[in-house]
Structure formats: structure tokens, C-alpha cells
Amino acid sequence: MKFVLNLDTEEKFRAKSHHKATISQGYLFASKGISLRCRKIENKKTSFFLTLKSSVGGRCVEIENPIDTRDFNDLWSQCMNKLEKIRYFVYDKDKLWEVDFFKDHNQGNYFCLAEFEMEEGMLRPKNIPDFIKEDLLHEVELTDCRFSSKLLADIRYATKLYNDVKESRNEKLQTGKHTSCS
């Protein structure tokens, strides 16, 4: 499940994280419900992957295979949409939260998305930790595809979506329709 967070929280998550990774990913193919991407992950070492993701029968099937540097570089040159993000790995008790800061060409943040990988059949996490609640702008419904990385790779789209989410949140707070997360 995904959660949109305030953009100005990177220092907080940097300090709280157990480790981080720099991720560059590009999409070779993206259509409704299916995508093929290549990804470079840099942390203690650099790894490269080719991933097929498809929505099938209400669930996401993800097949990821490692590839070598040359294959990544060749595929990267063919990618339509590309993005870079910093991912912080933060634990709440024994549960892993991934917090991604999407970077523009000047390394500024244009979107922040936290994600919690749920077991099949779960509709939402049993507990949303305070470090997520404190900066939460929007809890993304499982069926809401507007927040996929392939769409967030478009900085103009992502910036507009972020501003819409933030404005909607402010309106809910002003009208008293805000509901607290459990």
C-alpha cells in the first residue's frame, strides 16, 4: 500500500533509515496494467534488473531478473520514461517501510511516496507508524493507479498530482472531514 508524504521530510527519513539506495529506472514498455522496466540500484554495490509487472485478476504479478551492466546500458538508451529516486528503508518494529523521494534534474524532490508491501489478501497495514502519519497527505487506495512509478516518472504529471493531493488534504482539514489513520 502506498502513502503520499510531505516533500520536505527527506532529512527525517535519512536519519531514521537503516540504509538507502539510489534507484534509476526506465520503462521500455508501459500500457494499462502492464509494464517492462529496467532498473539500476546503487547502495553498497550496484545491481541491474529487468522487471515485468502486470495486473492480473486483481493482483500484481512481478517478475524480476538480474541483468548485467551492458544489457542495462543498452536498454536504458531505449527507455521512454525515466526516473531517479532515493529510497530509504525504515523499520517499524519488524515491518519494513520504503520511502521514495523522486528527484528532478536538479536533485530536488518532486514527489514522496511511502510503501508497505502487504501480504496477499491484506487490504491495508494493521498499523501505520507515527513517522508515516506525521507527514501523511494521502492514503492511496489499492485500485488507484495514478500513483504508479511509471506515471510519476513524468515530473509535470507528478507535480500536479502532488499539488492536487495537498490541496484536497487542506480542504478536508478546513471542513473538518479529516479522518485519522489507525
pLDDT digits (tens, 9 = 90+) for 58-87: 778 999 999 999 999 999 999 989 999 999
Q: Which percentage of the chain shows pLDDT scores above 70?
A: 96
pLDDT at 176: 67
Strands 136-139, 19-31: parallel, antiparallel or unpaired by DSSP? unpaired
pLDDT at 181: 44
Helix then strand then coil, % of the chain, to nearest 5: 25, 40, 30
How do the domains of the chain map onto residue ranges? 2-175
pLDDT at 177: 58
Residue 42, pLDDT > 70, answer yes
As a whole number, the mean pLDDT across the chain is 91
pLDDT band at residue 172 using 50, 70 and 90 as cut-offs: confident
Residue 130, pLDDT > 50, answer yes
Contact 50, 41 (CB under 8 A): no
More confident call, 119 vs 99: 99
pLDDT band at residue 33 using 50, 70 and 90 as cut-offs: confident
Which residues are 87's β-sheet partners?
A: 21, 100
Among candidates 20, 24, 26, 63, which has minimal Cα distance to 41?
24
pLDDT at 125: 82
Please count the residues of the chain: 182
CATH code: domain 2-175 is 2.40.320
Which residues are 21's β-sheet partners?
A: 87
